[in-house]
Amino acid sequence: MVRGRISRLSVRDVRFPTSLGGHGSDAMHTDPDYSAAYVVLETDAEDGLKGYGITFTLGKGTEVVACAVNALAHHVLNKDLGDIVGDFRGFYRQLTSDGQLRWIGPEKGVVHLATAAVLNAVWDLWAKQEGKPLWKLLVDMDPRMLLSCIDFRYITDVLTEEEAYGILQKGQIGKKERERQMLMHGYPAYTTSCAWLGYSDDTLKQLCTEALQDGWTRFKVKVGADLQDDIRRCRLIRNMIGPEKTLMMDANQRWDVPEAIEWMSKLAEFKPLWIEEPTSPDDILGHATISKALVPLGIGVATGEQCHNRVIFKQLLQAKALQFLQIDSCRLGSVNENLSVLLMAKKFEIPVCPHAGGVGLCELVQHLIIFDFISVSASLKNRMCEYVDHLHEHFRYPVTIKKASYMPPKDAGYSTEMKEESVKKHQYPDGEVWKKLLAAQNN
């Protein structure tokens, strides 16, 4: 049973200097410091449980998101957790429809990232109070209750609540067996960690060799800045992994539409399964044009890590603009909005392959995709969840990867809690890591 009134909300700016090693770098984000606006919710329930929520950011943006979290705090403080989750759709709407804050959204940008951080903390707290990992809380939840968490506004033209109910009802069939399958074998993953754009060829070779030894069979390589470099790097990685293993490419929005088509026709010989974010994430019709042009080359289009909200996903699906849909646990408005996108993807029969390149994203999104398999999609065809091998040591409940698959978390909650020691060290600008780095920069 949920209990307690939210008595405190705090938010901290936590940054990791990943840019120093080129980790996480791509054609548009050349110096990413993996960071998080880290929210902690406390209650008066006296059970010692807290809710932890993050949203992923890159360095400087974090302080802006933290401000937005503080601006949203009054919606959460002094609220009864039972009232929040009892009408979660209403609460989601209260946050996303704040009469003043929605002007700097709505449901997009900084204010939506902040909403995700707050709501991720609420879901963590809820799951902890129920004593279940988040995926299991969702799997066991009555379908009507689950649907009551979703705001269907703006998507009823493609998915009504009744249709969604039908999907969830169908998903009940074989659910126990799929849960057993997940617990035994886990959810298939791919790795992006070998081939960030800032890595040298030697680093790429070494990491790729290690990944192959560890049993990875699916790899993503960053492309988009320089065609000759891309050709060299893609050849290198394809030669190393061989013709049978899966290769994906990610351009992180670098190209115009015609440029994307032309560039990919030059990389087609390396047989990528998909090109990810070939152009602006807002250009739905542009994605549709690219998708259509790449069909004869056997290359799909993947996108989603910077899709603002369910409305953009709806239109991408309507326009047949993507072949692989990439949800993000912190870009959308938390679990609530991700549920609506999983259900739309099911309706359109488009495989979901979540984005996880960032700090904490692997920890969070594994819950969503495991739930999706057990209760919604019931399929692993063309599906895999991204994995990046960075910063897990800072989390209290880090992901477990076995045989290149995510093993379902067993601890209660949303795996969002960071180690206090790590937070203290990496808090910006006063944590010891940043004090040293900033002092060195100033000398």
Ligand X SMILES: C[C@H](O)[C@@H](O)CC(=O)C(=O)O
- Report, as residue numbers or ranges, the catalytic residues: 222, 355
List binders of Mg ion among 259-278 (CB under 5 A).
276
List binders of ligand X among 176-215 (CB under 6 A).
192
Kind of pairing between the strands at 405-407 and 400-402: antiparallel
Question: What is the tally of helices (H) and strands (E) in the chain?
Answer: 17, 12
Q: How far is CA 154 from CA 115, 159, 237, 282, 311, in A?
A: 18, 10, 42, 17, 7
Interface pick for Mg ion out of 179, 250, 337, 417 (rule CB under 5 A): 250
Q: Which residue is nearest to ligand X (CB)?
A: 357
Which entry of Mg ion, ligand X, none binds 171, CB below 5 to 8 A by partner kind?
none
Which entry of Mg ion, ligand X, none binds 192, CB below 5 to 8 A by partner kind?
ligand X
The reply on whether position 179 binds Mg ion by CB under 5 A is no
Least Cα distance to 337 among 152, 82, 161 occurs for: 152
- Region of 210-218, 308-316, 340-348, 353-361 interacting with ligand X (CB under 6 A): 353-361
Residues 45 and 221: their CA atoms lie apart, in Å, by 47
Residues 342 and 372: their CA atoms lie apart, in Å, by 7
Which entry of Mg ion, ligand X, none binds 217, CB below 5 to 8 A by partner kind?
none
The reply on whether position 386 binds Mg ion by CB under 5 A is no
Interface pick for ligand X out of 4, 17, 32, 304 (rule CB under 6 A): 32
Residues 352 and 418: their CA atoms lie apart, in Å, by 27
How many residues appear in the chain? 443
Least Cα distance to 365 among 393, 346, 341, 349 occurs for: 341
Residue number with CB closer to ligand X (29 or 308): 29
| Shortest distance, position 221 Cβ to Mg ion, whole Å | 11
List binders of ligand X among 292-311 (CB under 6 A).
305
Residues 421 and 3: their CA atoms lie apart, in Å, by 28
Phi-psi domain of 98 (left: phi exceeds 0; alpha: psi -120 through 50; beta: other): beta
Least Cα distance to 166 among 347, 349, 340 occurs for: 347
Q: How far is CA 325 from CA 92, 304, 361, in A?
A: 23, 6, 16
- Region of 26-34, 169-177, 314-322, 335-343 interacting with ligand X (CB under 6 A): 26-34
The reply on whether position 33 binds ligand X by CB under 6 A is no
Which entry of Mg ion, ligand X, none binds 24, CB below 5 to 8 A by partner kind?
ligand X
Residues 389 and 207: their CA atoms lie apart, in Å, by 11
Give the total of residues touching Mg ion (CB under 5 A). Answer: 2
- Region of 59-67, 233-241, 278-286, 355-363 interacting with ligand X (CB under 6 A): 355-363
Interface pick for ligand X out of 355, 367, 394, 426 (rule CB under 6 A): 355
Kind of pairing between the strands at 405-407 and 187-191: antiparallel
| Shortest distance, position 252 Cβ to ligand X, whole Å | 5
The reply on whether position 129 binds ligand X by CB under 6 A is no
Site string for Mg ion, 342-371 (x = CB under 5 A): ------------------------------
* Cis status of the peptide bond prior to 429, with omega within 30 of 0: yes
Residue number with CB closer to Mg ion (179 or 250): 250
| Shortest distance, position 388 Cβ to Mg ion, whole Å | 10
Least Cα distance to 358 among 29, 50, 126 occurs for: 29
Residues forming contacts to ligand X in the complex (CB under 6 A) are: 24, 26, 29, 32, 192, 250, 252, 305, 355, 357-358, 386
Residues forming contacts to Mg ion in the complex (CB under 5 A) are: 250, 276
